[in-house]
Amino acid sequence: MPSARKSAGRSRARSYDPARTRAAVTAQFGHVRDAVRQLSPEQFALPTRLGDWTVRELVAHLSMALEQVPAALAQPAPPAQEVTLATWPSATRALAGKVDEIARETAAAAAPADLLDRAAARYTEAVAGAPGDRLLAARIGAMRLDDFLVVRCVELVVHTDDLAAATGLDIPYDRQALAAATRLLADALATKAPGGSVEVRVPPFAVVQCVEGPRHTRGTPPNVVETDPLTWLRLATGRTAWPAAVEAADVSASGERADLAPYLPLMG
């Protein structure tokens, strides 16, 4: 696994260890299942920060995040790859309406804990022995299985944070899942705002350079942004606005170019 420092100014796509990614998806989904088992019927009716979704719709969506893997593996492999990790964040925007519809239908179909148990069983059976380069007919376009599992880490970690915010539960984050989510969205920023004038640090997982302007090569960069992984994920997905994060000192931004507001969120 590449170090955070080596990710700065990268010229090629980051690689992810397939075995660690598969373990991370399983572990993070397990944390979600454990949390949902603690919830009362009243808590499933609590509001979330995702529009008018309640906790029940959010849990249904979490089950869908995993169910998409066996559902896609059950379909014939597409002829060619269409979506990469670099293009996935921007591609998700077009799916918002469909995702909302399916989440509501799924939430009405079964009890939340049953949805998660079913998803876990189907996922485990489907991915066992499935090759990582198998192309999947995902909703946003054809992706490699290994890449699709990395984006499942993003989905699971981001929505675990949503679930914790809605219920007040202290839900663990699998370190590898959190690392993958942080790195993917940091790289997405570098793709959206290419350049080398700003260094964005999200310790201990990622460092990227971005934004057009003079490239920094040695010493302390003149434009530096630093934050923690969860704050970064909230910024990248629109849960937190840049000015609010800076004002709350959740983000440190120094230098005249160190304003990422024009580039955020990366997905929503």
Last residue of a domain, one of 177, 205, 236: 177
Tens of pLDDT along 202-217? 999 999 999 998 765 6
Percent of the chain with pLDDT over 70: 93
Q: Could you tell me if 185 and 153 are in contact, meaning their C-beta atoms sit under 8 angstroms apart?
A: no
Residue 64 has pLDDT above 70, yes or no: yes
Helix (H, G, I), strand (E, B) or coil at 226: strand
Is the separation of the CB atoms in 49 and 181 below 8 Å? no
Q: 219 Cβ partners below 8 Å, 6+ apart? A: none
Domain edge (last residue) among 128, 153, 177: 177
Which residues span the domain enclosing 58? Answer: 18-177
Q: Among 177, 197, 227, give the residue marking a domain's end.
A: 177
Top pLDDT among 9 and 127 is at 127
Q: What is the pLDDT of residue 4?
A: 41
Mean pLDDT of the 99-123 span: 95
Same domain, 72 and 153: yes
- The chain-wide mean pLDDT, for the chain, equals 92
| 47 falls within a domain | yes
Strand, helix or coil for residue 94:
helix
From the number of C-beta atoms within 10 Å of its C-beta (0-12, 13-18, 19+), residue 124 rates as: middle
Q: How much of the chain exceeds pLDDT 90, in percent?
A: 82
Same-domain check for residues 187 and 173: no
| Structure confidence by residue, pLDDT tens digits, 175-200 | 999 999 999 999 999 999 999 999 99
Quote the pLDDT of residue 217: 61
Burial of 84 (0-12, 13-18, 19+ CB in 10 A): middle
pLDDT band at residue 6 using 50, 70 and 90 as cut-offs: very low
Contact 171, 160 (CB under 8 A): yes
CA gap 207, 172 in Å, rounded: 24
Which stretch of DSSP H or E encloses residue 136? strand 135-138
- 254: in domain: yes
Q: State the CB neighbour count (10 A cutoff) for residue 244.
A: 12
Alpha helices in 168-219 (DSSP H): 175-192
Taking Cα atoms as reference points, which of 113, 122, 110 lies closest to residue 34?
113
Residue 203 covered by a domain:
yes
